[in-house]
Structure 1
Amino acid sequence: MKILTIVKKILFFNLLEDAPELRILDLSWNMIRDYDIRPICNSLKNNQSLERLDLMMNGLGNQGAILIANMLSNNDTLIELDLSNNRIEKDGADIFASKLEMNRRLKKLWFGNNNIGTFGSLVLLKAIDHIKSQVEYLNIENVLINDDFLDLYTQINQYIRPLEVIHGGIRGKLGRSHSTVSGFTIMDDIDLRYLDTKSLHAMFQRDPFKILARMAKEGGYDFPKALKQWDIEEHGHLTYSIYVTDFPTAVKDAGITLDKTLHFILWNYLKKIAKKGSVSYLQFITPLPKLNIKKPIKKKSKSTNIKK
């Protein structure tokens, strides 16, 4: 969408109020500033149909974020909101979060590439932790998180609802950070016990199950036994599948210790590969078991003898 002229803007704002079929509104890359967003927000307050609003790459700043937040606190239709790349800082994120916790409809929020720091990422997560919130996806790409964020994230996933988070890395207590996306390759000849924490996290990110299997083998843990204890049995037989919610418990029962970052990566991976709430653990079983698969019985065709 090109930059709107003044006349077109007036017509556009009127249209927003009286557009019962409007579901998606893409205003990204429009150089919309805080003074431009005010009439848009006023118009959207009366709109009862909009479900997705994309305001990416507009330079709204803190004031723009606050105006959007005020609109959001009274909105009952918006499901997805993209405010990434908008020059929003931690003060703007703080006020936005205070309004976000009042919204009962929003499910997906993009807030990445804004200069909100670990403070901003945490206040957003605290808003999502509110009892009214329904947010299940938070994208804060290129924004750092910290240990407090990880603790709260774990609690939300365990006790409130599943939540997927995309972030820019984890800042530890020493002030060092590392990204969740890495170019590390998984080398079979490296002893994981002698790896530094950053390298282990990077390798785990690439293939959590493969690294888990190696951690169990190198540590002498009977991980398959622990997994079988939580197997989803059918008619008394193992299915070699386990519920996603039980998988971290099986890891703990086996004696494998994961720090907060590894637990965070594993949980996101499990949700990604899960089918109907469960995952297969066959790759941890060596040798592979013989599955009890009943072969279909071929019916014998009746032959007819023709006498000459």
Structure 2
Amino acid sequence: MDENQRNAQLENEINKYDLHSKIDLSFHQLTDYDMNIVIKQAIIEKQCKTLLLNDNLISSEGATIIANALNNNKTLEELNLWNNKISDDGVSALARVLSNNNETLRSLALGQNQISDIGIQHLAEMLKTNQTISRLWLFSNEITDNGVKILADVLVHNNQNLQWLDLRLNKLMTDLCFDSIHNILKYNRTLKKFWMEYCNLSWQIKAKIREIAQNKEDFNFGA
């Protein structure tokens, strides 16, 4: 299939969706080159509320294109980019826009995107000012104990909006992140769902964290 046929196929698929609907373009082998079509038809013309772009081939370049489209966007509420290749550079572009210019997006899924503590720093800066994002998915990345500390600092001292946080399958998280997790559980008042299964924590530390989490009312914790 040549590029023109591929583009026509993508355009036709997006055209099938209704205005303000959920548009699912997952598992479509989409690349950065396809993002301008996605932006024009799905975000601008269809004004979709949910956009699923997971399990594609989008890099930091494509994430930057998406980020630019989120400037002053008033319709998109959920963006799923997990299992792409957006890396820390892509996170930087998204975080920069979401820090100041977006008041709509509530759920951001960035799992399995080669994100390190550098990307976490960008997200933490965003969470200091963003007033709308309540669900953040960061599973299966390259987040270390220091990245958890960065998140803990912002969730304890700055952010009062985040309700769901997914850190599962970050294998670089160890027992050394215990104090950071403890601080989140003790001092944050908005988080309702917090998952960190399949990280590199000992069963003793997991047990201690579960015991602390049990004292929080209306709270779902996984470790």
Q: Which bracket does the TM-score occupy, shorter chain normalised?
A: 0.7 to 0.9
Amino acid at match of 2:121: D
Tell me, yes or no, if the aligned pair for 1:170 and 1:178 is still in contact at 8 Å: no
Residue in structure 1 matching 2:140, options 105, 113, 116: 113
Aligned counterparts of 2:127 and 2:62: Cα–Cα separation in 1: 21
Aligned pairs (5 A) from 1:232-247: none
Deviation at 1:16? 5.0
Aligned to 1:43: 69
Aligned counterparts of 2:68 and 2:123: Cα–Cα separation in 1: 17
Amino acid at match of 2:211: H
Deviation at 1:6? 7.9
Mark the runs of 5 or more structure 2 residues left unpaired by the alignment: 1-24
Tell me, yes or no, if the aligned pair for 2:111 and 2:141 is still in contact at 8 Å: yes
RMSD: 2.8
Q: Say if 2:209 is the partner of 1:178.
A: no
Residue in structure 2 matching 1:27, options 47, 50, 53: 53
Secondary structure of 2:67's counterpart equals helix
Residue in structure 1 matching 2:186, options 128, 134, 155: 155
> Deviation string for 1:197-231 (max 9, x for gaps)?
47x93xxxxxxxxxxxxxxxxxxxxxxxxxxxxxx
Greater relative CO, 1 or 2 (CA 8 Å, sep 6+) = 2
Aligned to 2:195: 166
Aligned pairs (5 A) from 1:1-308: 1=25, 2-4=28-30, 9-15=35-41, 18-19=44-45, 21-73=47-99, 74-143=101-170, 144=173, 146-157=177-188, 160-168=189-197, 177-178=201-202, 197=204, 201=207, 260-267=208-215, 271-272=219-220
Inter-CA distance 163–125: structure 2 relative to 1 (3 Å threshold):
farther
Inter-CA distance 162–8: structure 2 relative to 1 (3 Å threshold):
closer
> Deviation string for 1:145-164 (max 9, x for gaps)?
6222133113334xx33432
Deviation at 1:59? 1.4
Tell me, yes or no, if the aligned pair for 2:31 and 2:58 is still in contact at 8 Å: no
Count of paired positions: 189
TM-score by length of 1: 0.54
> Deviation string for 1:116-137 (max 9, x for gaps)?
1111122123223344430011
Inter-CA distance 11–63: structure 2 relative to 1 (3 Å threshold):
same
> Deviation string for 1:96-148 (max 9, x for gaps)?
21122211001110011111111112212322334443001100002326222
Aligned counterparts of 1:263 and 1:5: Cα–Cα separation in 2: 44
Tell me, yes or no, if the aligned pair for 2:83 and 2:113 is still in contact at 8 Å: yes
Tell me, yes or no, if the aligned pair for 1:164 and 1:268 is still in contact at 8 Å: no
Identity %: 23
Aligned to 2:18: none
TM-score by length of 2: 0.73
Deviation at 1:7? 7.6
